[in-house]
Amino acid sequence: MKPLGRIKPDWKWGTSDGNRKLDRLLDGQLTFREKLEWLEEAEMLSLRLRANRERQSDRSKGNSEAQPSTCLKEPPLT
């Protein structure tokens, strides 16, 4: 991370415009590599959540033959 100094908290971050400004401020501090790592982690989380939803959907249908999704070999979310 590129240090730009201490960021002073602001109540405006709770608004939609303020939140966008905070996102831009924080994004400006990340290196390109950190942004890529963040995107990869977000994608992995999205895939794991989708697999979990599919597994829960199969269980709720009462389909005893349904197999859990094996697209990911990661441990379950805790």
pTM: 0.50
Identify the pLDDT of residue 43: 96
Evaluate whether 72 touches 48 at the Cβ level (below 8 Å): yes
Identify the pLDDT of residue 17: 92
Identify the pLDDT of residue 42: 94
| Alpha carbons 73 and 78: distance in angstroms, whole number | 15
Residue 45 carries which DSSP code?
H
Domain boundaries, the chain: 31-55
Q: Which of 37, 77, 36, 35 is nearest to 53 (CA)?
A: 77
Identify the pLDDT of residue 65: 54
The residue type of 71 is: C
Where does the pLDDT of residue 60 fall: very low under 50, low under 70, confident under 90, or very high at 90 and above?
confident
Q: For the segment 2-57, what is each residue's pLDDT rounded down to a tens digit?
A: 566 677 778 888 899 988 988 888 888 888 999 899 899 999 999 999 999 999 99
CA 30 to chain centre: 16
